[in-house]
Amino acid sequence: MARYPIQGSDPISKYYENFKQYISEADIPMTRMTTRVIFLDGLTEKNKLYLFRVGSSPPIENLIKVLEEIERISPAQPNQDNDHPENFLPKVEPITSHQKSYITRKMSATSTPASASNNATEEKQAPTLAEVVRKLDTENLIEFLRGEEDLQLNDTHFEILRNEEIAGRDFLKLTEEKLRSYGMKGGPTSRIVDFAKEVKEKKLRAFSSYRSLREVLLKYGLDSDGVEAIPLFELPQYEVEDNDQHFAHCMADILFRMKHYGSLVLDSLESMRNEYVSTLLHTALHIAGDLTRKEFSMRPEYEIIGDESSGRVNYGIKESENLICVTEDKVQRSILEGFAQNIKQLESSYETNKKKRKREDDDFDYLYGIVTSARDWHFLLYSPGEISQASEIPYSIEFNKKALEKNSEEYHTLRKNVKKVLEG
């Protein structure tokens, strides 16, 4: 596959053409987050800094318009080494009032923040339950129905569906006459037909549409719009040795990124935060794998479909086929929304696990949730009808560029806090 596109000395329009060609020819899956990270990484340091100052959340097409206008009204800087951040950043001229005025108009006229834009798209695209069921093959349909305990179906009923090769699309068209002709008795026939009708009428709600923590907590008997009402649980602790190879690799990776990104601040780009989050999650899984001798996997932008809600989580962590942890990445100012959405994600993840699980299997009756801004880390524990948190105060990591000096207090603080998050 071709190398990631780099802007270099090209005008933004030329870089954008190269970027679009690269994406169209890529032989790996390209998620929305992946394409945005590749686009931002390939920009000159000057353009990265402009977007860092004004925000990079709008669609890429709108960012291109902004950068083209900045090119038009900025003085040329020949012979500038745009690809070397340490040479370039101290020399960046401030954004002029003309530029700032243009950017403000463009942002307000054509876009919304990334979370709002992505949320609107997800809400619009939230599938009906019928759209989900329609895609199921016979065995997956049976597993889906097995999870609906109030249907009171047993292996005899499932065997009829299996013998008739009833798949999801067929299920939605079932009538009492058809089921009786297959040999199904009256009781289960009536329940299945009624349930098929419910499925056709049911609309799933997008995770991103949950913005009120109070609304979500009321289900758990907690009448509050703050996290202080959520009860505490004791988070299992595992000591990470100072010489652990995975910890050492994690620290090196953080410092490698921090050298060019600088300090992580409240409104840092989502792509920057995601890189730090991904690094810590991968490290935690390697350490947990060594301790437990179990195999874990992590899936970015993992789709989860529950009985009431659906959508993609930032990261889904699995052991075998069971989800054990889901992660929601939020900027600090949206952290309460992150709690609300992560709780709904955990509910749907549990429902997904339950439908895949055999009746005699009692494992995985709980899941962990993580709400993080990369700087602050909140850990949740979910079991049916209960939600709890590890601490009212987040585990925090200060990504301060001064930590690049390994004899500094900032480096030792960074190391201590990263270790604390990994041990939690």
Q: DSSP H helical segments within 111-164, as ranges?
A: 114-125, 129-133, 138-146, 155-163
Quote the pTM value.
0.63
**Which residue, among 60, 35, 34, has the nearest Cα to 47 in the 3D structure?**
60
Q: Which helix (H) or strand (E) holds 4?
A: none
Which tokens sit at 148? 């609906």
pLDDT in tens, 4-49: 688 988 899 999 988 888 877 765 555 566 677 778 878 887 787 6
CB 184 within 8 A of CB 160: yes
CA distance linking residue 105 with residue 274, whole number of Å: 28
Tell me how far apart the alpha carbons of residues 417 and 413 are, in angstroms, rounded to a whole number: 6
Confidence (pLDDT) at 8: 86
Each residue of 56-98: pLDDT tens digit? Answer: 556 788 788 878 877 776 544 444 444 333 333 333 344 444 4
- pLDDT, residue 88, reads 32
Q: Which residues pair with 302 in a beta bridge?
A: 313
Dihedral of alpha carbons 72, 75, 80, 83, sign = negative
The residue ranges of DSSP E strands in 320-393, in sequence order, are 322-329, 367-372, 376-383, 386-389
b/e for 108-144, b at 16 or more Cβ within 10 A? eeebeebbeebbeebeeebbebbbbbbebebeebbbb
Buried b (16+ CB within 10 A) or exposed e, 151-190: eebeeebbebbeebebbbebbeebeeeebeeeebeeebbe
Place of tokens 């009538």: 175
Residue 171 to residue 194: CA distance in whole angstroms: 11
* The one-letter amino acid at 346: L
Contact indicator for 399, 415 with CB cutoff of 8 Å: no
Measured between alpha carbons, how far is 379 from 34 in angstroms, rounded to an integer?
26
* Residue 383: other Cβ atoms inside 10 A: 13
Question: What amino acid occupies position 61?
Answer: E
**Structural domains for the chain:** 12-111 (no CATH), 129-201 (1.10.150.50), 207-423 (3.90.1570.30)
pLDDT attached to residue 107: 39
Rounded to the nearest 10°, the torsion over CA 214, 220, 223, 229 is: -90
Q: Which residues of the chain have pLDDT under 50?
A: 1, 75-124, 359-360
Structure tokens at 191: 């329940």
